[in-house]
Structure 1
Amino acid sequence: MILDSLELPSTWRRSPVSAHFRRVSRKGFDDKPLLSVYREHGVVPRGFTDDNWNLMPTDLTAYQLVEPGDLAVNKMKAWQGSLGLSQLEGVVSPAYFIYTPISRSFDQRYLNYLIRSRLLAAELARLSDGVRPQQWDLDPKAFERVPLPEPPMKEQRRIADYLDRETTTIDALIEKQQRLRSVLKERRQELVRAHLADVGPQVQLRHLVVRERPMTYGILQAGEHDDGGVPYIGPADISRVGGTPALQDLRRTTVEIAAQYQRSTLRPGDLVASIGPAYGHVMEVSEELDGANLTQDTVRLALDPDRAERRYLMWVLQGAASRDFWNFEITGATFRRLNLGTLARTPVPLPSLNEQREIADHLDRETAKIDALIAKAERFIELAQERRAALITAAVTGQIEIPT
């Protein structure tokens, strides 16, 4: 075990999870929980209500009650940090193990830091079995044998005090950069909105597509991945403005299946728009994707070059006005997704081609400056979060001297 080989200070000892927690299974939750709303460590509090009550399952027999102080452990995602001491009385899904405390050997704050530390996550990843990470399953008996570093109680409290101070400082810096990132993203959005407002008469998107290659979605059933087959693009492959997936990252279907969907074959310069639940992302088809196809959750737009500049239209389709139109059109829908008809009716402000190019050039330049600032803020956040995680792991395992 990773934690077994860790050298601890001489006054510390190791003790297994089972010395401090006992696994329990409590059934009989009467209130209806809301599964679509995340709560800390997967716990949905008792009595929680929401307008989305119709999304709830009718059979809750497999769900478990959780009480304050219980340790909730997601058997599939514990290695990603999905575990912790619950502060709530509520319910969790069958994906969780529930442990009730049976000892008072740990300071709660120290224990919280310990069980969310990077080293414990690495230990749980090692103990999880599965074909790939998304299917890993933690054996509860293996988890119960994990040896936890246990310093004297006085030192636990000193470590917790130290981490409370240090993480509060780091969290404040992270929050400041997150606010800056939000402000920059709003500024970017307003810049795009301002340059697309009242720039020309509005036409529906369908009038900007080449008649010989109408708007269409693609492959309904792609089948198993075929290394030598035809690549296809889905919603997950489409990123923000200017983004394009690498050919080697795309899934492929057989030549025979692709041949049934020649109507949706892609050519360089086409645009692909996502219409699934994460609708509204747009990308341009590159030269290396010539001959590729797309899925039913994406739509091909073969633009008329005499009427529409591709870069300009990408800005329009990813702008706030288009999103507002789509959100209004699908209000009340059970499954929030676009369809060909809604996408085709999207209003597009259409100035002359020269004006479209000028607007696209200006937005490319100005948003690049804002994007650089956003990237800088995100890099700061990433480094601060890395430092926070490393500091916690070092402190709870006795690898650093804690100042008095």
Structure 2
Amino acid sequence: MSRYKAYSEYKDSGVEWVGAIPNSWDVSPLFSLASTDVLKNDDGAENNVLSLSYGRIIRRDVEDNHGLLPESFNTYQLVAAGDIILRLTDLQNDKRSLRVGLACEKGIITSAYLKLTAKQIFLDRYLYRLLHSYDTTKVFYGMGGGLRQSMKFEEMRRLQMLCPSLDEQKQIADFLDHETAKIDALIEKQQRLIELLKEKRQAVISHAVTKGLNPNAPLKDSGVEWLGEVPAHWAIRKFGFISMVVRGGSPRPAGDPALFNGDYSPWVTVAEITKDDNIYLTETETFLTKKGSEQCRVFSKGTLLLSNSGATLGVPKILSIDANANDGVVGFEDLTLNHEFAYFYLSTLTDDLRERIKQGSGQPNLNTDIVKAITVPVPPDQEVEAIVESIKKSREQFNALVEKAKRGIELLQERRTALISAAVTGKIDVRNWQAAA
């Protein structure tokens, strides 16, 4: 923030998390600056459904929400452009979400959210930025009450707000709109870079497991349309012929404390397999009791697993531990192919498997017959080892670049948060700021 000057004189704000504010600023309770009139969509006339997502008010796709929307939107509240939306529920358990958003269009939103409308003496864009700053400094988390630690307007109506003049509010809001847009553009570039790196990484893996490392090797038709040509000296097999494909199983009845939440056997769920793109699963968050473990199959350390149900089906993982797995997971027991080669090969099929399953009806599910029928190219053992080592080396290089880009995003986000906080609390003076021509 060294490029921005401070105000010449400050005074104590009396607000613990703010500290000193410019001499000319005032402090007022929230209720004097904003109202919270709830107008319901009683007649159902408004159908632009909005939602708060990662600190932004976005449109919800009512055509593709898989039963996550109510039958009627009559209980939703009406929202106008300039309204500030706060999600002040689950404060006890969720301390990571961004809870404040600014509506840029009219629509409707769930009545579980708090809607604030700035009064004429206060600028909506500045109020949004100030509340956003309070959110990122976790001010709301110490204010809630009740089992869910949720808040209503009555519980935060006396929240102390910082009040520059209306002209100054507009200048601060204009400054932040301009500067955060530049930061957001840089973040978007880094996010796109990460996507491109992951696509390139996957293309390198796909080429290695289907074409090998020798560009001059003679090729043959695999006989499988989506696989195409493979090196002529490679064999073509199906997973059902090179392994015993078995489905995991869940103890019954589900949720029984005598079976679940124990400390005896690691419990692998689809979420455990799909939470990251690491090759190996080294630990699980939940365990079964001895009784629960005895009711279902134990997969041995080194077993290749594949998620086979839900929206995240088709993701492989290799066990580094002995573990039970639920019925959303299949295991490849007695696999005669190098497990890491098989892992990399299956990782290239994830999108294709999901697309194939999508053509069917009902709950997405890879049953064991489908998995057994998956074709896999099988190089000679020595070549398999060379391919695996080559992929690991390339993967490390791409992963390092991805991590560097992620760190860049973190730094940009930290700068964005710090800039907003500094401007709305008067730590920097932007009264004379002008956007570059």
Q: Distance in 1 between matches of 2:47 and 2:387?
A: 49
Contact 2:46 2:107 in 1 (8 A): no
Q: Aligned AA for 2:203?
A: E
> Counterpart of 1:270?
303
> Counterpart of 1:230?
265
> Counterpart of 2:427?
399
Distance 1:396 1:231, change over 3 A: same
Distance 1:35 1:86, change over 3 A: closer
Q: Determine if the alignment matches structure 1 residue 104 to structure 2 residue 120.
A: yes
Q: Distance in 1 between matches of 2:248 and 2:109?
A: 39
Q: Determine if the alignment matches structure 1 residue 377 to structure 2 residue 405.
A: yes
- 1:159-189: CA deviation from partner (whole Å, max 9, x where unpaired): 2233233323322322222222222112112
> Counterpart of 1:203?
237
For residue 365 of structure 1, report the CA deviation from its aligned partner: 0.8
Distance 1:95 1:202, change over 3 A: farther
For residue 375 of structure 1, report the CA deviation from its aligned partner: 0.8
RMSD: 3.0
Q: Which runs of 5+ in 2 are unaligned?
A: 1-13, 211-228, 433-437
For residue 55 of structure 1, report the CA deviation from its aligned partner: 6.3
Contact 1:275 1:299 in 2 (8 A): yes
> Counterpart of 2:173?
160
Distance 1:173 1:311, change over 3 A: same
Q: Matched residue of 1:94: which SS?
A: coil
Distance 1:146 1:392, change over 3 A: same
Q: 2:317 aligns with which of 262, 266, 283?
A: 283
- 1:77-124: CA deviation from partner (whole Å, max 9, x where unpaired): 6863232231222111232122333x2222333223212225565111
Q: Distance in 2 between matches of 1:115 and 1:53?
A: 33
Q: Matched residue of 1:115: which SS?
A: helix
Distance 1:127 1:53, change over 3 A: same
Q: Distance in 2 between matches of 1:119 and 1:51?
A: 31
Q: Which runs of 5+ in 1 are unaligned?
A: none
Q: 1:294 aligns with which of 304, 317, 325?
A: 325
For residue 205 of structure 1, report the CA deviation from its aligned partner: 1.9
- 1:280-316: CA deviation from partner (whole Å, max 9, x where unpaired): 2222111xx22x2112222222242xx3000000001
Contact 1:70 1:100 in 2 (8 A): yes
For residue 38 of structure 1, report the CA deviation from its aligned partner: 6.9
Q: Distance in 1 between matches of 2:149 and 2:304?
A: 37
For residue 269 of structure 1, report the CA deviation from its aligned partner: 0.8
Q: Distance in 1 between matches of 2:278 and 2:424?
A: 44
- How many residue pairs align between the two structures? 386
Q: Is the radius of gyration larger for structure 1 or structure 2? A: 2
For residue 240 of structure 1, report the CA deviation from its aligned partner: 4.3
> Counterpart of 2:369?
341
> Counterpart of 1:122?
138
Percent identity between matched residues is: 26
Q: Aligned AA for 1:299?
A: V
Q: TM-score, normalised by structure 1?
A: 0.84
> Counterpart of 1:256?
291
Q: Distance in 2 between matches of 1:74 and 1:327?
A: 35
Q: Distance in 1 between matches of 2:375 and 2:141?
A: 49
> Counterpart of 1:87?
104
> Counterpart of 1:350?
378
